[in-house]
Amino acid sequence: MIPAELKESLQKHIASIDHPRELVVDVMFAVQDYYGYLNDEAVEEVAELLDMSPVEVEQLATFYTFIYREPVGKYVIHVCDSLVCWMEGHESLLDRLIGKLGINLGETTPDGMFSLLPVCCIGYCDRAPAIMINKKVYGPLTIDTLDDILEKLRAEA
Amino acid sequence: MMHYPQVLFQNRKPDRIATLEEYRQSGGYQALADVIRNYTSKKVQEVLVDAILLGRGGAAFPAGRKLMTVADEAPYPRYIVCNADEMEPGTFKDRVMIHADPHMIIEGMVIDAYGAKAEKGIIFIRPEYESAARILEREIEIARKEGFLGKNILGSDFNFDIAVHRSAGRYICGEVTAQLNALMGKRANPQQPPPYPTEKGLWNLPTVLQNVETLANIPHIIKNGAEWYKSLALTESGAGTKLFSVSGKVNNPGCFELPMGIKLSEIIEIHAGGMTEGSEYKACLPGGASTRFLPREFYDIELDFDTLRDVGHRLGTGAIMVFDQKTCLVAATLNLVEFFARESCGWCTPCREGLPYIRDLLRRLERGQGEEEYIPMLQQMSKHLWSAYCAFAPGAVSPVESLVTYFEDEIREHISQKQCPFK
Amino acid sequence: MPKLVIDEREIEVPEGTKVIEAAEQLGIMIPRFCYHPALGSVGACRVCAVKFLEGPFKGVQMSCMIDAKDDMVVSTTDEEAVEFRKYVIEWLMLHHPHDCPVCDEGGHCLLQDMTVSGGHGVRRYLGLKRTYRDQYLGPLVQHEMNRCIHCYRCTRFYQEFAGYFDLGVMQIANHTYFGRFKDGILESPFTGNLSDICPTGVYTDKPSRFFGRRWDYQRSPSLCINCSLGCHITASARYREVVRQEARYSEAVNGYFICDRGRHGFHYAKSETRPGKALVDGREVTTEEGIRAAREKLAELMSRIESDGVACLGSARSSLENQAMLKQLCQKMGWQDPSYFVDESLAKKVKTAVTRLEPELTVSLRDLEGSDAIIVVGADPINEAPMLALAMRQAQRKGGKIVVLDPRPISLPCDYTHLPVKLDEINLYLGALIKAAVDPEAITDAEKDVARFYREAPMLEIFVDSLQKKASSLAQELRASQRVVIVCGTQVVRETTVVLAGDCVSLLRAAKKQAGLFYLLPQANAFGASLLTNKEFSFLNTLEGMENGSIKGLILVENDPFYSFHHRQRLDLAIEKLDLLIVLDYLESPAVRKAHVFLPTSTLYETGGIYINQEGRAQAATKTYLGGISIAQISGGNHPPRIYGSEIPGGEARAAFQFLDQIGDGGSDEDETASRQNPLRWLSANLPALAKIPPFGELTEAGMLINSSDEGTGQFSLDWKEEKDKGDMTGDLLEVILTDLTFGTEELSSFSPPLRKLERKPCLFMQVNDAAKMGLSSEDRVRIKLDEGDVEVDVRLEENMAPGVVILPRHRLLEWQKVKRLPKFVRFEEIEKVSD
Ligand SMILES: Cc1cc2nc3c(=O)[nH]c(=O)nc-3n(C[C@H](O)[C@H](O)[C@H](O)COP(=O)(O)O)c2cc1C
Ligand code: SF4
Ligand code: FES
């Protein structure tokens, strides 16, 4: 269950707006931030907050890229695989990540540190090849700068 | 290097956004003050029509005409939605615009709202642009404090406020009607008009949806007039400036504000720093992933909406992705179709099933397992994807169609050599 | 009206008609998957593409999305359109599992048809097929997502049309998935429609899985007799048993859909416990012996007693033919007229309803969908007649306003305002609401009695404080409405309420609104039963006669008073005193076991029959199969059974009218068809309302509206001061309202094994404040003292119901028949917590 303060603040926000359903995505994000991903319980809580049925929330939760219905790691690495990054060598970045982290796309390291997910063009084509870690963008990357970033994140954690 | 007037980017800094002060010093919010004092909403609409401000989101619909489709007797409250979804691969101009001068967009939205008698504004922004979303939220608050937003704007009885709506990420959310569904907490499937959003949009109320760049143009048109605006373009058929996002095999990728009608060759060679070492121009996509490959023969074409349309192309969002002679265009097209197949909203059959089919054909071709008959299949299937429900699918097959049109030989090489000739 | 040309043929259609519909009127069936006449157009599947040659649209376009307009020239056979449609089919088949041989949709699959007719026969796609995981959706619907072609019909029906939100569309792109959040039983009572509308085999009828192909079945147009609406159904039988029912389109009644009770309520007809052989004193005999025994025993009895010493009870679930033949028999034998209702008060209410339904007041279920205000009085649509709720939702979706005056915790799949008021208060509140809804100006020239009725009707101020605001805003909205329908139940309401509902409609009409009247009746043919009911003879008279010895013989025809009579003990004792009990039925019951002579009657599947629904629409069900014991039962599943002979095994059952005919005149008429003309002829000769009833088989699909109104009787005679009829009880009382549930209380469907899985455990509904007074909470179990003993049930607390009442379902698993008189009141202390 989400903590009472979070619930109250969401309820307050919801009550303050003419059309509460405009907030579904915001509420999903908020609850996801708490759990790390949107688990079944979270879907039901979002539904209750917004007076929707669980499947009505699920209809949206499973639609969007940035709502995770399965557990993800502390750092979610989104590797852009669209055209410009592809042209600028995203595949070698990806290979490097797969090699270093020992996981495939769609997976999470056993220590729960990193998840690797593909993402379509993140709008930083001028900095291709680019990746995004927890919504922060890195690019243009080389294998070396990529390694540095991973090391830094490991050290920070 | 040729320097052109910077309008939208006049306050752009390399390292930070322009503050409200800087924006005001450059003449910001004067247009709004003028509009509030001296304009009727009709007049706002007329000026925009006269200036031939065409939508910068890709469809190039005249912004003023869109405002005019809000009927006088239409109900209230009315909405202005600023489309900052920008998920078209290759496109990043809206991001740069927001990071350069957010108040220009805010002022544009308020004037637009005045023109539509709207009182609610929403900026719909993709989740990858979290920093931009925060900037907008912060600057909106500042504008509100200064009386440019909120109740009784600049002491008038005009009220308008803006909220930032974060999306959770899907390309289709950029399409107008899908975006409105997304905003209402529904699945972001498009909805074919009628009714048009300006008649029944958000919560069945009139809604005007415009792109970030389109809105940023509005204050300048008001301030300097339609004639001035048209004169910014290098061609007769163009008007204003355009934000070009240039990427790919160029030395200096980035977003540039250049006059409409500028030559493609000039952008590549001068503004984007020329082709990278050892590469030669083969083709580009001139306006994002959903436009058609422009091969060498169009290298000197003047870039404005009409000129491209007349030769069977689209300027789209003006996101130019440049390919060189070493880049396999079958593989590039496959990459695009991978994107489109993944992002299809799943509503209609041609797009939901036809794109994965095309993807399968391209994958086989790229792997050297292609057959002659795939070429007419690609052609026919692409043609039929134009009968999909929304503009997503026609956009998705634009690269495919143009690949077959201009680079059939390259496809044939894949078939005859039973492998990708670029590998 | 636009005029257009489709395939070189001209047609004129009403404004707003889609091109696909216009083509259909020409007999051109343009392919479609997502389009459905009830669900409308959404343009998702793209298979209805045609080429627009001239007019406002050009090129290949979806015929379901474009309104027919003048000067359009359309081709459905244009090469480009045909090729496009072929591609659409190819796309849809990319991932289809081609499991037609084991798919229950095979043989009536729209996808199969389109694949064949669209000319897609050769697979070109070499990629892998996508697969999905299926979900458990409950006992009625089987899920097979791999077959899905993503037409979105299921969720559009489920959420938009029916108003339930536990089935939806998830995921995106070509992973789009239709199902529930988690495995589990679908919540809506309309789920079977999923299998009807799914154009392929994603949702199939679970209980009948793997039983046969559509072409194997004996199929016939039939009717649902699980409530009084009379929805149209297609029944399918195979190997001597009914196996499936589907919705059958009806313009006036159910449209395209039916409820799950109706779809799966047929199992009584093939129940293992169904008594199939004649019995004399409990001993199995041949049918002829049974008939002879009945005749001889009757003759013997009648030689000893007066002719009014034999009484007959017919039923409201019998066909009109059976009902009429019983009355005919009584007249021939010189007995008193039969009664048809066990509950005397119910009989009166139905009579009132039937006599109030003047033709101009009557609204069909479909008409109801077009109303802009519906006032529900003492009816619980979902539990009593589910399809009514679906129709109300359609009215509401178009902007109609819905108000419910009922003490029970009503829940509807649409927006509505519930005024939870006691049964004794309904009249006052209804009167006040209607009065406030009428513009005084509008009735200045009304007739005297109308004006007086209006004047004397109570003012809105009678509403208790908590309902004041709601009521006055409702009255405002009602005033603005034009097409108002009053829906009035007959089960739980007071007798005067049924009268008042009619009066209110008359008042609204006097105030120049297009008001309509819609009664709910207790059973499928209550209307017919009521037409034949002679007010002087009620079952209570019969019971008294049995008790005082003046009635010695009783014939029960397809009616089991042990199921429905509220005072079991009294009934037991009275039946004990009879010299002769003859029972004709197709249901197993205590009455069958007690009968001296039992004759097995056929069901509507074996004989067909005419039923008059609650609006007075006489409709016919045709015979589906010949009857007999199912092969599954006779051979324990072994096939083929080794039984030789030309008779149908276990086919002894006959139509009740046939038995009655034979009891009456010596059995000259063994032929069902000939025997049937008898009661129908008698009806047209003796009942003016049915003078025009055609011979069986000549009733059209639309049926025939029967006008049985008795104009003016008792109109506007209501005395507003309803006396609370609490017998000799005083003080703080709770009224015990015996009520229906969607599943578990209705007699016929309660035999259905799949529906039994959906029954809710019987419980006692209480208003939260009442429960608080008694210290009860939602987890508690209580013992409620009825007159002849206690009933133990769990408590369910509800906010949204009237205080001062408790609701007890007439559940088949609950021995509720311990009530001496109705209405029944209990004291607070007569409900006590059972400590565990
Ligand atoms: C699939 C699809 C995606 C789109 N994405 C965007 C987008 O991200 N941003 C945008 O401004 N317009 C996008 N558009 C165009 C919009 O539908 C719409 O035309 C535009 O936002 C209107 O604003 P404008 O008139 O100012 O260009 C997209 C269109 C389609 C069909
Ligand atoms: S073309 Fe069809 S499936 Fe594709 S995005 Fe548009 S509506 Fe969705
Ligand atoms: S029937 Fe027209 S698009 Fe499906």
Task: Show which of C268, C293, C312 is a domain's final residue.
Answer: C268
CATH of the domain at C795: 2.40.40.20
Overall CATH class of domain A4-61? mainly alpha
In this structure, what DSSP letter does residue C115 have?
A: H
CA angle C47-C50-C55, nearest 5°? 145
CA angle C263-C267-C268, nearest 5°? 125
Taking each helix axis from N to C terminus, what angle separates A40-49 and A54-61, rounded to the nearest 10 degrees?
A: 110
| pLDDT tops 70 at residue C253 | yes
Q: How much is the mean pLDDT over chain B?
A: 97
Q: What average pLDDT score do residues B221-236 get?
A: 97
| pLDDT tops 60 at residue C667 | no
pLDDT of residue C716: 85
Domain assignment of residue C485, yes or no: yes
Top residue of A46, A50, A53, A69 to mutate, by most chain C CBs within 10 Å, is: A53
DSSP code per residue over C459-483? PGGGS-HHHHHHHHHHHHHHHH-SS
% of chain B exceeding 70 in pLDDT: 100
CB atoms within 10 A of CB B19: 16
CA C527 to chain centre: 14
Contact B289, B393 (CB under 8 A): no
**C199 lies in the same domain as C336:** no
Task: Show which of C226, C244, C268 is a domain's final residue.
Answer: C268
State the pLDDT confidence band at C819, using cuts at 50, 70 and 90: very high
| pLDDT tops 70 at residue C641 | no
Which of C21, C24, C35 best tests ligand 3's pocket when mutated (most atoms within 8 Å of CB)? C35
* Residue scoring higher pLDDT (A132 or C466): A132
**C474 lies in the same domain as C500:** yes
% of chain C exceeding 90 in pLDDT: 88
**C232 lies in the same domain as C287:** no
Task: Show which of C240, C268, C296 is a domain's final residue.
Answer: C268
| pLDDT tops 70 at residue C725 | no
**C145 lies in the same domain as C264:** yes
C83, C152, C174: residue with CB nearest B353: C174
- Tell which CATH architecture fits domain A75-156: 3-Layer(aba) Sandwich (3.40)
| Alpha-carbon distance A52 to nearest alpha carbon in chain B (angstroms) | 10
**C58 lies in the same domain as C163:** no
pLDDT digits (tens, 9 = 90+) for C179-195: 999 999 999 999 999 99
Domain ranges of chain A: 4-61, 75-156
**C86 lies in the same domain as C168:** no
| pLDDT tops 80 at residue B2 | no
State the pLDDT confidence band at C639, using cuts at 50, 70 and 90: low
Residue C519's DSSP bridge partners are C488
Atom of ligand 3 nearest to the CA of C63: 2
Domain assignment of residue C713, yes or no: no
**C306 lies in the same domain as C242:** no
**C547 lies in the same domain as C668:** yes
State the pLDDT confidence band at C712, using cuts at 50, 70 and 90: low
pLDDT of residue C357: 95
CATH of the domain at C446: 3.40.228.10
pLDDT of residue C330: 96
pLDDT digits (tens, 9 = 90+) for B328-386: 999 999 999 999 999 999 999 999 999 999 999 999 999 999 999 999 999 999 999 99
| Alpha-carbon distance B43 to nearest alpha carbon in chain A (angstroms) | 31
Distance (Å, whole) CA C196 – CA C189: 14
Residue B87 CB–ligand 1 contact under 6 Å: yes
Nearest to B89, CA basis, from B306, B285, B356: B285
Domain assignment of residue C622, yes or no: no
Range among B103-107, C442-446, C819-823 with highest mean pLDDT value: B103-107
State the pLDDT confidence band at C722, using cuts at 50, 70 and 90: low
**Token pair of A125 as six digits:** 């084509």
Instruction: Tell me whether residue C412 is exposed, middle or buried, using C-beta atoms within 10 angstroms of its C-beta: 0 to 12, 13 to 18, 19 or more.
Output: buried
pLDDT digits (tens, 9 = 90+) for B108-151: 999 999 999 999 999 999 999 999 999 999 999 999 999 999 99
Distance (Å, whole) CA C373 – CA C363: 13
Top residue of A87, A91, A137 to mutate, by most chain B CBs within 10 Å, is: A87
pLDDT digits (tens, 9 = 90+) for B270-326: 999 999 999 999 999 999 999 999 999 999 999 999 999 999 999 999 999 999 999
In this structure, what DSSP letter does residue B150 have?
A: B
Across the interface, whether the CB atoms of B253 and A64 are under 8 A apart is answered no
Compute the distance from residue B352 Cα to the ligand 2 centre, in Å: 7
Domain assignment of residue C443, yes or no: yes
State the pLDDT confidence band at B413, using cuts at 50, 70 and 90: very high
pLDDT in tens, chain A (157 residues): 999 999 999 999 999 999 999 999 999 999 999 999 999 999 999 999 999 999 999 999 999 999 999 999 999 999 999 999 999 999 999 999 999 999 999 999 999 999 999 999 999 999 999 999 999 999 999 999 999 999 999 998 8
% of chain B exceeding 90 in pLDDT: 99
| pLDDT tops 60 at residue C828 | yes
CA angle C521-C527-C530, nearest 5°? 105
| pLDDT tops 80 at residue C713 | no
Q: Which residues of A fall within a CB distance of 8 Å from B170?
A: 63-65
**C220 lies in the same domain as C326:** no
CA C62 to chain centre: 37
Nearest to C661, CA basis, from C645, C641, C681, C675: C675
Nearest to B220, CA basis, from B240, B244, B198: B240
CA C836 to chain centre: 39
Structural element, H or E, at residue B100: helix B93-100
**C313 lies in the same domain as C371:** no
* Residue scoring higher pLDDT (C328 or C638): C328
| Alpha-carbon distance B126 to nearest alpha carbon in chain A (angstroms) | 9
CB atoms within 10 A of CB C213: 12
Q: Which residues of C fall within a CB distance of 8 Å from B389?
A: 43-44, 46
Residues lining ligand 3, Cβ inside 6 A: C 32-35, 43-48, 62, 64
**C264 lies in the same domain as C289:** no
CA dihedral C754, C758, C762, C766 (to 10 degrees): -160
Contact B28, B104 (CB under 8 A): yes
- Whether the ipTM is more than 0.95: the answer is yes
Distances (CA, A) of C272 to B248, C553, C558, C716, C757: 76, 30, 18, 51, 18
* Residue scoring higher pLDDT (C476 or C714): C476
pLDDT of residue C255: 98
C165, C172, C177: residue with CB nearest A56: C165
CATH of the domain at C49: 3.10.20.740
Q: What average pLDDT score do residues C506-521 get?
A: 96
Domain assignment of residue C32, yes or no: yes
Q: What average pLDDT score do residues C800-826 get?
A: 95
Q: What average pLDDT score do residues C588-602 get?
A: 97
Domain assignment of residue C628, yes or no: no
State the pLDDT confidence band at C463, using cuts at 50, 70 and 90: confident
pLDDT of residue B349: 98
Q: How much is the mean pLDDT over chain C?
A: 94
State the pLDDT confidence band at C672, using cuts at 50, 70 and 90: confident
Distance (Å, whole) CA B212 – CA B81: 10
Which of B179, B347, B359, B382 best tests ligand 2's pocket when mutated (most atoms within 8 Å of CB)? B347
pLDDT of residue C644: 80
The residue count of chain A comes to 157
Across the interface, whether the CB atoms of C172 and B345 are under 8 A apart is answered yes
**Domain count of chain C?**
5
| Alpha-carbon distance A110 to nearest alpha carbon in chain B (angstroms) | 26
Q: What average pLDDT score do residues C3-17 get?
A: 97
What pTM does this model have? 0.97
Distance (Å, whole) CA B223 – CA C664: 101
Instruction: Tell me whether residue C624 is exposed, middle or buried, using C-beta atoms within 10 angstroms of its C-beta: 0 to 12, 13 to 18, 19 or more.
Output: buried
pLDDT of residue A152: 95
Q: What average pLDDT score do residues C268-296 get?
A: 96
Cα atoms in the 13 Å half-sphere on the side-chain side of B257: 19
- Residue C110's contacts (CB-CB under 8 Å, 6 or more residues apart) are C33, C199, C200
Across the interface, whether the CB atoms of C168 and A40 are under 8 A apart is answered no
Q: Domain of C353?
A: 348-521
- Residue C212's contacts (CB-CB under 8 Å, 6 or more residues apart) are C236, C238, C243
Q: Does residue C173 belong to the interface with chain A, where contact is any CB pair within 8 Å? A: no
Q: What average pLDDT score do residues C827-836 get?
A: 89
Of C415-424, C713-722, C774-783, give the lowest mean pLDDT range. C713-722
**C429 lies in the same domain as C467:** yes
- Check residue C549 and give left, alpha or beta (phi > 0: left; psi -120 to 50: alpha): left
Residue that has been written with the tokens 């593409």 in this structure: C49
Nearest to B261, CA basis, from B210, B232, B302: B302
Give me the domains of chain B, ranges plus CATH numbers.
20-231 (3.40.50.11540), 241-324 (3.10.20.600), 329-417 (1.20.1440.230)
Domain assignment of residue C403, yes or no: yes
pLDDT of residue C138: 98
| pLDDT tops 90 at residue B1 | no
Distance (Å, whole) CA B102 – CA B11: 10
Helix/strand/coil for C235 = strand
Contact C338, C314 (CB under 8 A): yes
Q: What average pLDDT score do residues C814-834 get?
A: 94
pLDDT of residue C669: 57
Domain assignment of residue C174, yes or no: yes
pLDDT digits (tens, 9 = 90+) for C690-703: 999 998 889 999 99
